[in-house]
A and B are shown apart, each in its own frame.
Chain A
Amino acid sequence: MRKLLVYMKPYRKECVLGPLFKLLEAAFELFVPLVMAAVIDRGIAQGDAPFVWRMGGVLLGLAAVGLTCSITAQYFAARAAVGFCARLRHALLEHIQSLSFAVRDGLGSSTMITRLTSDINQVQSGVNLTLRLFLRSPFIVFGAMIMAFTVDAASAWIFVIAIPLLSAVVFGIMLWTMPLYKKAQAGLDRVLGVVRENLTGVRVIRAFNQEENEAARFGADNGSLTRLQLFVGRIAAAMNPLTYVILNAALIALIWSGAWRVEGGFITQGAVVALVNYMSQILVELIKLANLIINMTRSLACAGRIAGVLETEPGMAGGTSEGPADAEALVAFEDVAVTYPGAGAPSLEGVSFRANRGETVGIIGPTGCGKSTLVNLIPRFYEATAGRVLVKGVNVKNYDLQKLRARIGVVPQKAQLFKGTVAENLRWGRENATEEELIAALKTAQAWEFIETREGGLNAPVEQNGRNFSGGQRQRLTIARALVRRPDILILDDSASALDLATDARLRAALRELPDRPAVFVVSQRAASLMHADRIIVLDDGKVAGVGTHAQLLESCPMYREIYHSQFPKEAA
Chain B
Amino acid sequence: MAESQKKRSGTLKKVLARVARYRLSIACSLLLAALTVTLTLYVPILVGRAVDLIAGPGRVDFAGLARILATIGAAVALTALSQWLMSLINNRITYQTVRDMRADAFRKIGILPLSYIDSHPAGEIVSRVIADVEQFADGLLMGFTQLFTGVITILGTIGFMLSVNPVITLVVVLITPVSLFVAAFIARHTYDMFRLQSQTRGEQTAMIDELVGGQSVIQAFGREKKCLDDFDEVNERLRRYSLRAIFFSSITNPSTRFVNSLVYAGVGVCGAIIAVGGGLSVGQLSCFLSYANQYTKPFNEISGVVTELQNALACAARIFDLIEETPQAPDAPDAAALKNVRGEVAIEDADFSYVPERPLIEHLNLHARPGQRVAIVGPTGCGKTTIINLLMRFYDVDRGVIAVDGAPIRSVTRKSLRASYGMVLQETWLRSGTVRENLAMGRPDASEEEIIAAAKASHADSFIRRLPQGYDTVIGEDGGLLSQGQKQLLCIARAMLCHPPMLILDEATSSIDTRTEARVQEAFARLMEGHTSFIVAHRLSTIREADIILVMKDGRIIEQGRHEALLEKGGFYASLYNSQYAGLA
User: Of B117, B213, B222, B379, which is within 8 A of A406 by CB?
Assistant: B222
Q: Quick one: closest B residue to A559, CB to CB?
A: B515
Q: Does A461 contact B (CB under 8 A)?
A: no
* Cβ-based interface call for A47 (8 A): yes
State A214–B50 Cα separation when bound (angstroms). 64
Write the A453-480 contact mask toward B (1 if CB under 8 angstroms, else 0).
Answer: 0000000000011000011100000100
Residue of A nearest to B513 (CB): A366
CB-CB nearest 6 A-B residue pairs: A505-B582, A63-B261, A502-B579, A237-B87, A56-B269, A241-B80
Q: Do the beta carbons of A252 and B72 come within 8 Å of each other? A: yes
* Cα A197 to Cα B129 with chains together (Å): 13
B452 within 8 A of A: no
CA distance A512 to B77 in the complex (A): 90
Q: Are B513 and A365 in contact (CB under 8 A)?
A: yes
Chain A positions within 8 Å of B268 at CB level:
35-36, 39, 55-56, 59
Task: Tell whether A49 pairs with B276 under 8 Å between CB atoms, given A196-B126, A381-B220.
Answer: yes
A272 to B49, CA, bound (A): 13
| B167 lies within 8 A of chain A by Cβ | no
Q: Are B103 and A52 in contact (CB under 8 A)?
A: no
State in angstroms the CA–CA spacing of A502 and B204 once bound together.
Answer: 40
Q: Which of B47, B231, B431 sits near A255, CB closer than 8 Å?
A: B47
Is B107 among interface residues, defined by CB-CB distance under 8 A? yes
Which B residues touch A215, using CB under 8 A? 106-107, 110
Docked pose: A464 CA to B206 CA in angstroms? 7
Known: A44-B275, A199-B122, A218-B103. 11 other contacts (CB 8 A): A67-B258, A74-B247, A93-B208, A104-B215, A195-B130, A262-B55, A262-B60, A265-B57, A418-B210, A502-B575, A567-B541
Least CB distance, A57 to chain B, in whole angstroms: 9
Contact check, A223 vs B99: say whether CB atoms are below 8 A apart: yes
Contact B265 A203, beta carbon cutoff 8 Å = no
For residue B154, CB closer than 8 A to chain A, the reply is no
Q: A70-B257, A214-B110, A240-B83 in contact; A82/B243 too (CB < 8 A)?
A: yes
Within 8 Å CB of B580, what residues of A? Answer: 501, 505, 528
- Interchain residue pairs with CB less than 8 A apart (18): A59-B265, A113-B205, A192-B129, A197-B477, A209-B418, A218-B103, A252-B69, A252-B73, A256-B65, A269-B54, A276-B290, A277-B286, A367-B513, A381-B216, A501-B580, A508-B582, A508-B583, A525-B513
> Which of A94-102, A142-150, A295-303 makes up part of the contact surface?
A94-102
Does A258 interact with chain B (Cβ within 8 Å)? yes
Q: Which of A243-251, A321-329, A332-340 contacts B (4 or more CB under 8 A)?
A: A243-251
A56:B265 contact, CB within 8 angstroms:
yes
Interface residues of B in 539-564 (CB under 8 A from A): 539-541, 544
1/0 per residue A375-387: CB within 8 Å of B?
Answer: 0000101000000
Nearest Cβ on chain A to B383's Cβ, whole angstroms:
14
Tell me which residues across on chain A come within 8 A of B254, comparing CB atoms: 25, 66-67, 70-71, 74
Closest chain-B Cβ to A36's Cβ sits at a distance in Å of 6
Residues of B within 8 A of A117 (CB): 204-205, 208
B175 to chain A, nearest CB (A): 12
Taking a contact as CB atoms closer than 8 A, the residue among B57, B478, B485 that contacts A263 in the complex is B57
B218: chain A residues at CB < 8 Å are: 97
**Contact assessment for B514 and A525 in the assembled complex, using a CB-CB cutoff below 8 Å:** yes
List residues 27-73 of chain B with CB under 8 A from any CB of chain A.
Answer: 43, 47, 50-51, 53-58, 60, 62, 65, 69, 72-73
A-binding residues in B (CB < 8 A): 43, 47, 50-51, 53-58, 60, 62, 65, 69, 72-73, 76-77, 79-81, 83-84, 87-88, 91-92, 95-96, 98-99, 102-103, 106-107, 109-111, 114, 117, 122, 125-126, 129-130, 201, 204-224, 227-228, 231-232, 235-236, 238-239, 242-243, 246-247, 250-251, 253-255, 257-258, 261-262, 264-265, 268-269, 272-273, 275-276, 282, 285-286, 289-290, 293, 379-381, 392, 394, 414-415, 418-419, 421, 423, 425, 429, 431-432, 441-442, 444, 477-478, 483-485, 494, 498, 511-518, 521, 538-541, 544, 575-576, 579-584
Q: In the complex the two chains form, is A192's CB within 8 Å of B276's CB?
A: no
Closest to A376 in B: B216
Q: CA–CA, A505 to B276, complex, Å? A: 103
Establish whether residues B258 and A208, one from each chain, have CB atoms under 8 Å apart when the complex forms: no
A264 beta carbon closer than 8 Å to chain B: yes
Given contacts A52-B272, A234-B91, A262-B60, contact A209 B219 (CB under 8 A): no
Cβ contact within 8 Å between B117 and A199: yes
Question: From residue B89, how far is it (CB to closest CB) to chain A in Å?
Answer: 10
Main secondary structure, interface of A, reads helix
The answer to whether B228 and A97 have CB atoms under 8 Å apart is yes
Specify the chain A residue showing the minimal Cβ separation from B98: A226
Residues in B neighbouring A208, C-beta threshold 8 A = 418, 441-442, 494, 498
A563 near B514 (CB under 8 angstroms)? yes
A367–B516 contact, CB under 8 A?
yes
Contact residue among A44, A86, A237 (Cβ-Cβ distance under 8 Å from B276): A44
Contact A192 B130 (CB under 8 A): yes
Give per-residue flags for A36-76: 1 if the beta carbon is below 8 A from chain B beta carbons, else 0.
Answer: 10011001100111001101100110111011001100110
Say whether A435 faces chain B, with CB atoms less than 8 Å apart: no
State in angstroms the CA–CA spacing of A11 and B249 once bound together.
Answer: 21
Q: Are A255's CB and B54's CB within 8 A?
A: yes
B261 contacts A90, C-beta separation under 8 Å: no
- A568–B217 Cα distance when bound, in Å, is 34
Closest residue of chain B to A503 (Cβ to Cβ) is: B579
A112, CB-defined interface residue at 8 Å: yes
- Rounded to whole Å, the gap between the CB of A29 and the closest CB of chain B is 8
A405 and B221 contact, Cβ closer than 8 Å, known pairs A202-B114, A206-B394, A238-B84? yes
Which B residues are in CB contact (< 8 Å) with A75? 247
Any B CB within 8 A of the CB of A32: yes
Cβ–Cβ < 8 Å partners of A566 in chain B: 514-515, 517-518, 521, 541
A78 touches B95 (CB 8 A): no
Task: List CB contacts (< 8 Å) of A263-277 with chain B.
Answer: 263-265, 268-270, 272-273, 276-277
By a CB distance below 8 angstroms, the chain B residues around A206 are 114, 392, 394, 414, 418
Query: CB distance B53 to A259 under 8 Å?
Result: yes
Verify B255–A67 contact, CB threshold 8 A: yes
- Name the contact of A128 in the complex, choosing from B107, B125, B246, B477 (C-beta under 8 A): B246
Digit string of A535-573 for contact with B (CB within 8 Å is 1, else 0)? 000000000000000000000000100110011110100
Contact B216 A233 (CB under 8 A): no
Name the one of B224, B275, B380, B512 contacting A98, with C-beta atoms under 8 angstroms. Answer: B224
Q: Which of A97, A276, A366, A405 has the most CB of B within 10 A?
A: A97
Contacts of B77 in A (CB 8 A): 245
- Residues of B with C-beta under 8 A to A196: 122, 126, 477
Partner of B117, one of A202, A223, A464, A571: A202
CA–CA, A113 and B205, complex, Å? 8
Q: Which residues of B contact A225 (CB under 8 A)?
A: 99
Select one of B91, B211, B381 contacting A233, CB under 8 A: B91
Looking at A64, A201, A207, A229, the one whose CB has the most chain B CB atoms below 10 A away is A207
**For residue A49, which residues in chain B have a CB less than 8 angstroms away from its CB?**
273, 276
Q: Which chain B residue shows the least CB distance to A380?
A: B219
Binds B, one of A159-167, A171-179, A390-398, A408-416: A408-416
Q: Which chain B residues border A320 with CB–CB below 8 Å?
A: none
Q: Is A294 an interface residue (CB 8 A)?
A: no
Q: Please measure, in the bound complex, the distance between the C-alpha atom of A465 and the C-alpha atom of B212, giving whole angstroms.
A: 11
Do B110 and A198 touch (CB < 8 A)?
A: yes
Contact A428 B54 (CB under 8 A): no
Q: Shortest CB–CB separation between residue B57 and chain A, in angstroms? A: 4
| Residues in chain A near residue B494, CB distance under 8 A | 208
- Are B114 and A505 interface neighbours, CB within 8 A? no
Distance in angstroms between the alpha carbons of A244 and B418 in the assembled complex: 62
Known: A86-B238, A248-B43, A255-B47. A203 touches B380 (CB 8 A): no
- Other-chain residue from A366, A416, A508 in contact with B214 (beta carbon distance below 8 A): A416
* B264 with A368: CB separation less than 8 A: no
The reply to whether B419 and A209 form a contact with Cβ atoms under 8 Å apart is yes
Q: B415–A209 contact, CB under 8 A?
A: yes
Q: Say whether A312 faces chain B, with CB atoms less than 8 Å apart.
A: no
Contacts of B432 in A (CB 8 A): 193, 197
